Amino acid sequence: MFQNNKLNLLISIVAAIVLWAWVTMAVNPSVDQTISKVQVDLVNMEWLYDRGLTVDSEQSYSVDVVLNGPRSEATQLTASDIRATADMTGYPKGVVDVKVNIIVPSGMTVVQVKPETVRVEVVDRITVIKPVRIEYQETFPEDVEPGFVTVMPDEMEVAGVAEAVDSVDYIRVQVPEGLLSEEPKTFTLEAVPIKKDGEEAYNVSLSQDSIQATATLCTVKKVPLIIDQVGQADETIDITELSVPNTITIRGTEEAVADVTEIRGKEIDLSTLRDTTEIPVEPYLPEGVEVADRSKNLAVIVEVQGIVKKEFEYTAEQIEVAGLRQGLYGHVNTGSVTVMLLAPESEIESFAKEDIRIFVDATEIARAVEAFEMPVQYECEKAHKSITINPDKVRVSFNGESGNSSGTAKQSEVTGG
């Protein structure tokens, strides 16, 4: 009896196998199925990166895959059910053919891959550091703006082919609308490479996918800006314009800015100026206050021009004896003086000797004096930096009318003229 049971069990198992095979072959037969445009992923790219290489990021790769399996399953497959990869390990720079490997669902077998390889261009990989820039997806009222902003990191590596990397201007991180408040908040933001035309760059890789940012919604306030000027401009230059901003906009918590009535900036040392330039304003800020965005680029505008030297020689007869009392005549005994003129380049060419009046002041001389040393003075109405006279003193004799000599008479005529 026991043996009969075992025989019956064996017959049942065989019958089930035969029935399954019949159903499989007759009802759900094995068929070949072609899946088109299966995307090929390049793997082990790190091997290339470590050697300063990458692939042309503009390229994409796909193959057609012929599979065999039960019709009920094979006919339901799509390209997303199949994974195709090309291993980049070991390939040099240049155009190379890389074998495609296929992974298929259980129960399926690969009959054919068309083509069996993909043609890949291996090129040099460059890495460039680009700044991270935070942007906001909302518009703020005039009296508030984001402040005390930090991003970590504030720079990122952008890698890829030279042309693609060169097109990237900065890394953008955007703060969603309504996220900021008067209390500091820290959040994680997606990092997106942005090209010089403002569009997103898709064909480069970043050193990381996101950044940590902290920001506070601040109150803004405009206050007077005071910047002192110290020192004297060097004699070799002439400052034609010195434009100093007189207000600055600050930001901070409402309490921090409430008591701020003015901001002082770092003084401008005129003695250090040499060229036309813009000097960024360096404000001294109280704790809890920083410069608002609208005043970030405040600068002192300095325009200068060079100072040029020109010399004139004046003889004794050309030095005027001014302020003589009636009946008194003066005569300069020193042979000549040299006048050194320093004037802006724009003025120096038009200067003539006659534009500078050289004289001694005799208003205090009341009587004839045989020889008297007097300082030489000048008058000049045209723009100039400085005038130096050498020697700066001359000897002058003063005679009454009866004591006139021919030389004195000539001097008197000059004085009268």
Kindly report the number of other CB atoms within 10 A of residue 323's CB atom: 15
pTM for the model? 0.58
Strands in 30-43's sheet, in edge-to-edge order, are 53-55, 117-124, 94-103, 83-87, 30-43, 62-70, 109-114
Residue 291, domain member (yes or no)? yes
What's the pLDDT at 406? 35
Give the single-character DSSP code of 137. S
Task: Please give the pLDDT value at position 165.
Answer: 92
Last residue of a domain, one of 169, 187, 219: 219
Q: Which two tokens stand for residue 29?
A: 């037969």
β-strands 377-379, 299-315 pairing: unpaired
pLDDT at 7: 67
Closest alpha carbon to 356 in 337, 376, 379, 338? 379
Residue 244's pLDDT is 95
Residue 25 lies in a domain: no
Which of 254, 289, 306 corresponds to the end of one domain? 306
The answer to whether residue 292 is domain-embedded is yes
pLDDT for the residue numbered 3? 56
For residue 225, the number of C-alpha atoms closer than 13 Å in the C-beta half-sphere is 24
- Indicate whether 115 and 54 sit together in one domain: yes
Can you say how many angstroms the Cα of residue 96 is from the centroid of all Cα atoms in its chain? 41
Using DSSP's 3-state secondary structure scheme, residue 272 falls into helix
Chain position carrying tokens 């129960």:
107
**pLDDT tens-digit profile, the chain (417 residues):** 545 666 666 767 766 676 655 555 556 688 889 999 999 999 999 999 899 999 987 788 999 999 999 988 888 889 999 999 999 999 999 999 999 999 999 889 999 999 999 999 999 999 999 999 999 998 899 999 999 999 999 999 999 998 899 999 999 999 998 889 888 999 999 999 999 999 999 889 999 999 999 999 999 999 999 999 999 888 788 888 899 999 999 999 999 999 999 999 999 999 998 889 999 999 999 999 999 999 999 999 999 888 889 999 999 999 999 999 988 999 999 999 999 999 888 888 889 999 999 999 999 888 888 888 999 999 999 988 889 999 999 999 998 864 443 333 334 333 332
Q: Please tell me the total count of domains within the chain.
A: 4
Q: Are residues 215 and 226 in the same domain?
A: no
Q: What is the pLDDT of residue 416?
A: 33
User: How high is the pLDDT of residue 385?
Assistant: 84
pLDDT of 258: 93
140 and 61 both lie in a single domain: no
Domain extent, residue 208, equals: 126-219
Dist. CA 186–CA 60, nearest whole Å:
38
Strand 126-136 and strand 109-114: the pairing is unpaired
Are residues 88 and 100 located together in one domain of the fold? yes
CA angle 345, 349, 354 (to 5 degrees): 125
Residues 120/98, Cβ–Cβ less than 8 Å: yes
| 11 within some domain | no
Q: Show the tokens assigned to 326.
A: 């009636």
Asked whether residue 2 is domain-assigned, the answer is: no
Classify residue 12: in a domain, yes or no.
no
